[in-house]
Amino acid sequence: MPLFDISISPDEPVYVISVVSKLVDLPVWTLRQLDKVGIVCPKRAGKKSRLYCLRDIRRLEYVHYLMQEKHVNVSGVKIILEIEKGK
């Protein structure tokens, strides 16, 4: 029986980049690149710290699948996500 019954909104930015890197099996430098090109845009805590929400992590799991399983590069991932968003 859990001690706490915590419910976190899927849009609440609570995960730091090092944790997200482990969760989605992508290096920190790749996460920074994905942020730079606008594929996933985490919230900022201060000037440097990126905070990801659960929705970002789900998107990154899909990005990981495209990059690792389908061998799509970052530019291709961006195009695929844009096409899917338009559907």
**61: which DSSP letter?**
H
| Long-range CB contact pairs, 58-64, < 8 A, 24+ | 58/10, 60/20, 60/24, 60/26, 60/31, 60/34, 61/24, 63/24, 63/26, 63/34, 63/39, 64/24, 64/25, 64/26
Q: What is the pLDDT of residues 23-74, one digit of tens each?
A: 999 999 999 999 999 999 999 998 889 999 999 999 999 999 999 999 999 9
Q: Could you tell me which CATH number the domain at 15-86 has?
A: 1.10.1660.10
CB neighbour list of residue 14: distance below 8 Å, 6 or more residues apart = 8, 51, 52, 53
pTM above 0.75, yes or no: yes
Tell whether the model's pLDDT for residue 2 goes beyond 70. Answer: no
Output the CA torsion sign for 76, 66, 85, 28.
negative
